Amino acid sequence: MGTVLTGVTKQSRLIIGIDGITNEGELFNQGNVQIRDQVIVSSEGITNENGYWGFGIVSCNGLTFMDSTSNLYGGSLEPKLDGTDYELYFTDPQGNDVQITSDGSVSIANDTITLAMMAHGTDGNLITYDTAGAPAAVATGSATEVLTSNGAGAAPTFQAAGGGGAKSMFMLTPGAAALPNSSFAELEKESGTNWVYYMAKFDAAADENIYFTKCIPEDYAGGSIKITLYWKANAVAGTALMKVVVRSPNDDEVWDATGTPSTVETAIDCLADGAADDLIIDSGTWSSTLPTAGDALQIRIYRDADASGGGTDDLSVDLELLQVLFEEV
């Protein structure tokens, strides 16, 4: 089989093939190398000290590398002309080109590292970079957690998902309101200088009402419902006591009733705190006897002008309602 020389390094062995070797210096090896062709070594020798190779003028062709399963694959050893560095080229078992230089750097062709070549890790971990720019792992999070940025200079982590804010359900506008036979808010079309719109005007001296019917969206998840009134008034101060009454009957329940299910009333204090006719936004929360997705929804909106149920209503002019937003929170 040829002469076997044991190297001085911690790696395997060098096998010299039957084609012979001419060696006027000394030869040391690192790695598992089988040489099938002639090797010419100058009087400078080949050395391996402190983990690197030093050369004289060396020509070495026909290098055959053996992997852990005894598969052979070829390469070549090319010294630089100054006799101080080397470059090692070979083709791995997958046919990829690899270059190793004496400064310890390794160059591998692009798009050649496969999943099978990567070190094993922990199921669910992700690869990132730490503050030093070195590869690092993001620890696996818990079920329902989401990957969250921690800003510049910090690796991401898995954290509990945020609430995501309110989710719009539907909007009501006065033009779609149903008016009762009496005690109803005045429905007025306003042709402004720039915009045309409808508004429901609730008197300061008497309780007045408007009605709507809607359907609870199928993606409603059962959370509390925020009810927001968009309104204005020709006043700079005062509070109007607005109330929103809701009822959500289901299949086989009486439509024109106040019970089963019960009505729920949400009071919203509407405070005039800007210039006259400025848009003002106030809201309240419906948090009990909540509906389910797909339910019908009956809505009554009125002004409790005499504050008979408690609270304060001292806005001396009409409250002009522009729209109402329902959101799940």
Q: CATH number of the domain that 247 lies in? A: 2.60.120.260
Residue 12's domain comprises: 4-108
Whether the per-residue pLDDT at 233 is higher than 90: the answer is: yes
Tens of pLDDT, residues 216-227: 999 999 999 999
User: Is the same domain home to 181 and 314?
Assistant: yes
Q: Does residue 153 or residue 139 have the better pLDDT?
A: 139
Whether the per-residue pLDDT at 63 is higher than 90: the answer is: no
Residues 53 and 120: their CA atoms lie apart, in Å, by: 31
Residue 66 covered by a domain: yes
Residue 113 covered by a domain: no
Which two tokens mark 49? Answer: 């000290």
Whether the per-residue pLDDT at 43 is higher than 50: the answer is: no
The mean pLDDT value for 101-107 works out to 68
> Which pTM value belongs to this model?
0.55
Q: Does residue 323 or residue 117 have the better pLDDT?
A: 323
User: Is the same domain home to 176 and 60?
Assistant: no
- Sorting pLDDT into bands at 50, 70 and 90, what band is 167? confident
Whether the per-residue pLDDT at 35 is higher than 60: the answer is: no
What is the per-residue DSSP string for 14-56? EEE-TT--EESS-----S-EEE-S-EEE-TT-EEEETTEEEES
Cis omega (within 30 of 0) for bond into 261: yes
User: Is the same domain home to 93 and 148?
Assistant: no
Residue 49 covered by a domain: yes
Residues 92 and 109: their CA atoms lie apart, in Å, by: 11
Tens of pLDDT, residues 105-136: 777 778 777 888 888 888 888 989 888 888 88
Residue 114 covered by a domain: no
pLDDT at 326 (0 to 100)? 97
The mean pLDDT value for 237-248 works out to 96
Backbone angles phi, psi at 116, to 5 degrees: -65, -25
User: Is the same domain home to 82 and 146?
Assistant: no
- Residue where the block lists tokens 């409808």: 198
SS3 131: coil
pLDDT at 307 (0 to 100)? 95
Residues 202 and 199: their CA atoms lie apart, in Å, by: 10
The mean pLDDT value for 200-221 works out to 96
Domain count, the chain: 3
